[in-house]
Amino acid sequence: MILVNENYTKLPGSYLFSDVARKVNEFKAANPSANIIRLGIGDVTKPLPPAVIKAMHAAVDEMGNADTFRGYGPEQGYDFLVNAIVENDYKALGLDIAADEIFVSDGAKSDTGNIGDMLGLDNIVAITDPVYPVYIDTNVMAGRAGELHNGKWSKLVYLPCTAENDFVPELPKEKVDIIYLCFPNNPTGTTLTRDQLKIWVDYALKNKALILFDSAYEAFITENDVPHSIYEIEGAREVAIEFRSYSKTAGFTGTRCAYTVVPKTLYGYKKDGEKVMLNQLWNRRHTTKFNGVPYIIQRAAEATYSPEGKKEVQAAIDFYLNNAKIIRNGLLEQGLQVYGGINSPYIWVKTPKGMTSWAFFDYLLKELNIVGTPGSGFGPSGEGYLRLTAFGTLENTKEAVGRFKKISI
């Protein structure tokens, strides 16, 4: 008899974005002439930067030559990319991150989902609410979440982020061991200042807790008092793992490349109190279960740090931030409550007249042919909100804002 991991059977029927896609496909099938504008899933629309394409072509040529062909590479990442990360993403901020603290991967989604492999099942997990669904679902799969009751998992500690607290999570009243923080936030698009983030680092230091800091959207930060890395906060190297991605910054959603930083000053504990270096555990997990990002893709990622690459990547980021500004201002003109869109490509909209998230989703899809993502799919505190993304084309973004003016509810 084949036994299954019964934790998987506790998960809701499907992944949030699968539900969104199903509804859109059903509507499209019934209304084939509808001009649907998709502002739901956060996939980019601009092509890869020219410097990236040039690097990929050169790497492909290398792979076709016996003298320059590459087989298996280091699972942690090639030195040329790791060293570029050290110099450009950390030394440029005055931060001392070593090459062997960086692990190149195929996506921040993968790493935030897999990081729990090296963490005990008895840890108490705290998540901001609303939250990126992968954080919750992977803890359910592992067996840390308990049972689902009235939209909440019994063993998880929820940290509400709402308009009432300016989307700044409060410290948990009970002691927790693992804390998921994503800033700039997905889905709300909001941020924490240095002082606000320091409160969490200090809490983790005091309670020997681990912060899993998803910094996938740091390149969209425009305000000076918002840290680009948690390691800008004193003491964070002792309590935090940071996740970064090239997906939204350089358009790698279809090519897949990211990295995770696990400092060697970061320790977990055995039940007898013995300290264990998490860097060594993650290295063991990474080299056992992952064969590395392809050489061609890593050369492409390296190119984002070239002078041309930096200019081209920044141009794409500026393009999406301009879209965000257009959406944000357009919705504000309609009298809607809007958050995010300043340091983030996400705009978080309060549904009008007390509509549920899914009701507002259905209204926008059927009446205006616009696709968003229901806030309730991100957790209990997301009910009554809708997430829009700025990753569309400029033409579609302006068209969508024009359609928003037709809202009649």
The whole-number pLDDT of residue 407 equals 85
CA–CA distance, 184 with 187 (Å, rounded to integer): 9
**Token code pair at residue 318:** 């500026």
Phi, psi of 273 (to 5 degrees): 95, -5
Q: Find all residues with CB under 8 Å of 190, minimum gap 6, and list them.
A: 161, 166, 167, 168, 183, 184, 339, 340, 343, 344, 348
53-307, what's its fold?
A: Aspartate Aminotransferase; domain 2 (3.40.640)
Asked if residue 161 lies in contact with residue 361, where contact means CB atoms within 8 angstroms, the answer is no
Residue spans per domain, the chain: 8-47+310-404, 53-307
The whole-number pLDDT of residue 168 equals 97
Three-state SS across 82-112?
A: HHHHHHHHHHHHCCCCCHHHEEEECCHHHHH
Dihedral over alpha carbons 322, 325, 330, 332 (to 10 degrees):
180
* 3-class secondary structure, 303: helix
Name the superfamily (CATH) of residues 8-47+310-404: Aspartate Aminotransferase, domain 1 (3.90.1150.10)
Nearest alpha-carbon partner for 344 in 240, 228, 222? 222
CA–CA distance, 135 with 128 (Å, rounded to integer): 10
Q: Within the chain, what is the greatest distance between any pair of CA atoms? A: 66
One digit per residue, the tens of pLDDT, for the chain of length 409 reads: 999 999 999 998 767 878 888 999 999 999 999 999 999 878 899 999 999 999 999 999 999 999 999 999 999 999 999 999 999 999 999 999 999 999 999 999 999 999 999 999 999 999 999 999 999 999 999 999 999 999 999 999 999 999 999 999 999 999 999 999 999 999 999 999 999 999 999 999 999 999 999 999 999 999 999 999 999 999 999 999 999 999 999 999 999 999 999 999 999 999 999 999 999 999 999 999 999 999 999 999 999 999 999 999 999 999 999 999 999 999 999 999 999 999 999 999 999 999 999 999 999 999 999 999 999 999 999 999 999 999 999 999 999 999 999 888 7
Phi, psi of 392 (to 5 degrees): -80, 180
Strands 37-38 and 370-371: parallel
**Token code pair at residue 259:** 């990295």
Phi, psi of 127 (to 5 degrees): -130, 140
The whole-number pLDDT of residue 16 equals 80
Q: Catalogue the long-range contacts made by 166-171 (C-beta closer than 8 Å, 24 or more residues apart).
A: 166/190, 167/339, 168/192, 168/196, 169/128, 171/199, 171/200, 171/203
Strands 37-38 and 210-214: unpaired
Buried b / exposed e along 374-404 (16+ C-beta atoms within 10 A): bbbbbbebbbbbbbbbbbbeeebbebbbebb
Nearest alpha-carbon partner for 300 in 40, 54, 37? 54
Asked if residue 20 lies in contact with residue 371, where contact means CB atoms within 8 angstroms, the answer is yes
The whole-number pLDDT of residue 40 equals 86
Nearest alpha-carbon partner for 192 in 180, 182, 205? 182
What type of residue is 318? Answer: D
